Protein backbone atom coordinates (compact mmCIF):
# COMPACT_ATOMS: atom_id res chain seq x y z
CA UNK A 1 0.00 0.00 0.00
CA UNK A 2 1.49 3.32 -1.02
CA UNK A 3 1.40 6.48 1.00
CA UNK A 4 -1.03 9.22 -0.07
CA UNK A 5 0.31 12.51 -1.37
CA UNK A 6 -1.14 14.31 1.64
CA UNK A 7 0.57 11.95 4.07
CA UNK A 8 3.84 12.32 2.13
CA UNK A 9 3.61 16.09 2.49
CA UNK A 10 2.63 15.87 6.16
CA UNK A 11 5.57 13.58 6.91
CA UNK A 12 7.96 15.89 5.07
CA UNK A 13 6.68 18.96 6.93
CA UNK A 14 6.78 17.37 10.40
CA UNK A 15 10.27 15.98 9.90
CA UNK A 16 11.51 19.26 8.54
CA UNK A 17 9.86 21.32 11.30
CA UNK A 18 11.83 19.36 13.86
CA UNK A 19 14.96 19.93 11.79
CA UNK A 20 14.16 23.65 11.59
CA UNK A 21 14.30 24.09 15.35
CA UNK A 22 17.48 22.05 15.62
CA UNK A 23 19.08 24.00 12.76
CA UNK A 24 18.29 27.39 14.29
CA UNK A 25 19.85 26.31 17.58
CA UNK A 26 22.91 24.85 15.87
CA UNK A 27 23.25 28.00 13.74
CA UNK A 28 23.42 30.13 16.88
CA UNK A 29 26.41 28.07 17.98
CA UNK A 30 28.16 27.34 14.68
CA UNK A 31 27.97 30.61 12.71
CA UNK A 32 30.08 32.52 15.25
CA UNK A 33 32.74 29.81 15.06
CA UNK A 34 33.16 30.71 11.38
CA UNK A 35 33.19 34.44 11.99
CA UNK A 36 29.56 35.18 11.15
CA UNK A 37 27.41 37.00 13.67
CA UNK A 38 23.75 36.78 12.67
CA UNK A 39 20.84 37.97 14.77
CA UNK A 40 18.21 35.44 15.78
CA UNK A 41 15.87 36.87 13.13
CA UNK A 42 18.53 36.56 10.42
CA UNK A 43 19.34 33.03 11.56
CA UNK A 44 15.66 32.07 11.36
CA UNK A 45 15.42 33.61 7.86
CA UNK A 46 18.47 31.72 6.61
CA UNK A 47 17.18 28.49 8.12
CA UNK A 48 13.72 29.08 6.60
CA UNK A 49 15.18 29.13 3.08
CA UNK A 50 16.87 25.78 3.65
CA UNK A 51 13.75 24.43 5.33
CA UNK A 52 11.54 25.18 2.35
CA UNK A 53 14.06 23.51 0.04
CA UNK A 54 14.14 20.51 2.38
CA UNK A 55 10.35 20.09 2.43
CA UNK A 56 10.20 20.18 -1.38
CA UNK A 57 13.13 17.76 -1.67
CA UNK A 58 11.66 15.31 0.87
CA UNK A 59 8.25 15.36 -0.78
CA UNK A 60 9.63 14.81 -4.29
CA UNK A 61 11.92 11.99 -3.20
CA UNK A 62 9.08 10.28 -1.33
CA UNK A 63 6.72 10.58 -4.28
CA UNK A 64 9.45 9.37 -6.64
CA UNK A 65 10.04 6.24 -4.60
CA UNK A 66 6.29 5.60 -4.33
CA UNK A 67 6.04 5.84 -8.13
CA UNK A 68 8.89 3.39 -8.56
CA UNK A 69 7.26 0.97 -6.16
CA UNK A 70 3.93 1.10 -8.02
CA UNK A 71 5.67 0.66 -11.39
CA UNK A 72 7.69 -2.37 -10.25
CA UNK A 73 6.35 -5.73 -11.45
CA atoms within 13 A on the CB side of 43: 18
- Give residue-wise pLDDT tens across range 43-73: 999 999 988 888 888 889 988 988 887 777 7
What H or E segment, with its residue span, contains residue 25? helix 5-33
How far apart are alpha carbons 57 and 46 in whole angstroms? 17
With 0.75 as the threshold, say if the pTM is over it. no
Residue 47's CB is within 10 A of a number of other CB atoms, namely 21
Q: SS3 of 52, please? A: helix
How is the chain split into domains, by residue range?
5-71
- Give residue-wise pLDDT tens across range 17-51: 899 999 999 999 999 999 999 999 999 999 999 88
Amino acid sequence: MSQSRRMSLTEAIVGTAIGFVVSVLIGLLVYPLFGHAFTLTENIGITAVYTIASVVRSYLVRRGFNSLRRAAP
